[in-house]
Structure 1
C-alpha cells in the first residue's frame, strides 16, 4: 500500500511530521507519490533540515521574506505549467541556508498562511528535529506544529527497540528519566514506546484539535520488527488512556510499496 493511500488523503492537506526515525525520507517519499497524482506539493520545515540533493523533480526556494517566497513559489509553478514539466516539481522552501548543508525553516503562522493561500494541494512540514535518532521526547519548545495541520504523523523508528536508553539512540532521554523508572543503563522497550505515544507531553504533544493523529511505526523491515510493531500497537490500544492515535501504520521505506500494514 502507498503512503497516500494508507493516510487516506483527500484532495489537499497540511501534513506535519514529528518524532524520529525517518521523517525526512518519509516526507519526500510521500511528496513524490502525491506529485505522481499530479498534485502540487510544498516541502518545508518549522525547524531545520538538511538541504535536499539537487534533483530534476525538486525546486529549491530560499527567501527570508515570506511574501517574496510565496511569489517565487507561484512563479515556479507557473513556469512548470507553461514549459510542460511533467506533473510539476516539488518545491522545497526555507528562509536561509545554514552551515553544515542545512536549511532554516519557516514559522508555523507562515505555513498556515501558505496553506490558506491555496496554491499547493499539499504542504508537508517537518515540524520536529531528532538529530537523526530513531526516537525522541520533545523539549518544552517542541514540536512546532502549524495550527492548520490536517494530519500529524508521529514517527518512531523500530530499530531503537532493544537499544540503550541513551543519547546515542534516543534524543532527549533525560526527559524520560524524570517520568519513568528508567536510567541510562535501561533498554528502550515496547512499554517505553507505548508511554511516549500516549503521554500528553510525548509524541503527539501540541497536536491541533482537528488534526488526525497517525502513529507511524517505521523501519518494520522484517517479520520480527513487524511483530514488535503489532505488540506496541496492541499495548497502546489496551491502555485506553492518554493520547490514542486515530490511525497506526507500519512502514518500511526500503520496500515498495512502503506501507506494510494499516493496524488501526
Structure 2
C-alpha cells in the first residue's frame, strides 16, 4: 500500500492533527498527489522549500483557481506572521477552498510545539467541516519514555484523557501503548471534532527500527481495542478503517492494522 492509498488522499481534503510528524506527512502527500494545495487553520512554520510555491493571499480560492499547473503543489496562507512562520486561515475560508478546488487540500489543523504526542485543548483542533479525512499523528518513539513536557504537549491533558478511558497514566511515568491508544482513540483526543461523515486514519509515525515497529503495533492494537469498547460518539459513528504505521521522513508505509 502506498502513501496516498493509505490515507485515501487522492482528490481528498485531509486535516492532519496531533504531534510527531504532521507537516512531514502533509508534504509527503503533496509531492505524490496531483494539484495538491497545502494550507493551515493554525500557525505553520515557513514551508516554501516543501512546495512549488507559497502564496500569501486573503482570497485563496481565486489564487488556487488561477494558478498555473506548474505552481502545484501550491501553498496558500493569509500572511507571514514573523520570520519563521505563517498565520493560518479561518476554518470557513478553508471550507470554501475545499468546495472550490478540484484536487487534494492538505491542512495543518493544530499545533504541538515540536513535541511527539499531545492531547488537544478546548480551542483545537480547527478542522473544517468539509474535510474528508482526519489523520491523528503520534510518534512511536514516545512509548516507554517519561510522560513529561519534554516529549509531550500538554501532558496533564494526556493524563486526564487516558484516565477517562480507564487507563492508568501519571506525569513522569513511562508512556504505555495503552496510554497512547486511549488518547488517539478518544473523542477528547485524536478524534476530537472529526466532522460527521469524515474518515479518521491514525498514523503512528517515526517507525525507524524493529523496536519502534513493535511499539507502533502495540499502539495500533490499543487504538483498535479502545474503538471496540466505544465505537459511537460525537455527531455519529466515526469511520476508522485502519491505523497506519509509517516513517514519513521517507514517505514509507511500514504497515497497517485494520480496525
Query: Could you tell me whether the CA contact under 8 Å between 1:137 and 1:196 is conserved in 2?
Result: yes
Report the counterpart of residue 5 of structure 1 in structure 2.
5
Q: 1:107 and 2:90 equivalent?
A: yes
Unaligned segments of structure 1, at least 5 residues: none
| CA–CA distance in structure 2, aligned partners of residues 5 and 162 of structure 1 | 31
Which residue of 225, 230, 244 maps to 1:238? 225
Aligned partner of 2:53 in structure 1 is 59
Instruction: Tell me the CA shift for residue 108 of structure 1.
Output: 1.1
Matches within 5 A, 1:119-134: 120-134=102-116
The alignment's TM-score, normalised by the length of structure 2, stands at 0.88
- Deviations along 1:46-90, one digit per CA (max 9) or x if unpaired, are 0011011446x5211112x23xx332333323xx4xxxx4xx521
Q: Deviation string for 1:136-176 (max 9, x for gaps)?
A: 00001110001011011011111111211111100011113
Moved over 6 A (4+): none
Q: Give a deviation string over 1:103-162, Cα, whole Å, max 9, x none.
A: 0011111111111113x4110001010111110000011100010110110111111112
1:75 aligns to what? Answer: 66
* Inter-CA distance 236–121: structure 2 relative to 1 (3 Å threshold): same
Q: CA-to-partner distance for each residue in 1:200-248, whole Å, 9 max, x for gaps?
A: 2011100011111101010111111111111222223234123573221
SS in 2 for 1:153: strand
**Separation in 2 of the partners of 1:142 and 1:238?**
25
Whether the 8 Å contact between 2:13 and 2:131 is mirrored in structure 1 is yes
What is the root-mean-square deviation in Å for CA atoms of aligned residues? 1.8
Q: Which has the larger radius of gyration?
A: 1
In structure 2, list runs of 5 or more residues that go unmatched.
232-237
In structure 2, the CA distance between the partners of 1:8 and 1:199, relative to structure 1 (3 Å rule), is closer
SS in structure 1 of the partner of residue 14 of structure 2: strand
Instruction: Write the distance in 2 (CA, Å) between the matches of 1:161 and 1:134.
Output: 10
Q: Matched residue pairs, number? A: 245
* 2:39 is equivalent to residue 44 of structure 1: yes
Tell me which residue corresponds to 2:235. Answer: none
Distance in structure 1 (CA, Å) of the matches to 2:242 and 2:142:
21
TM-score by length of 1: 0.86
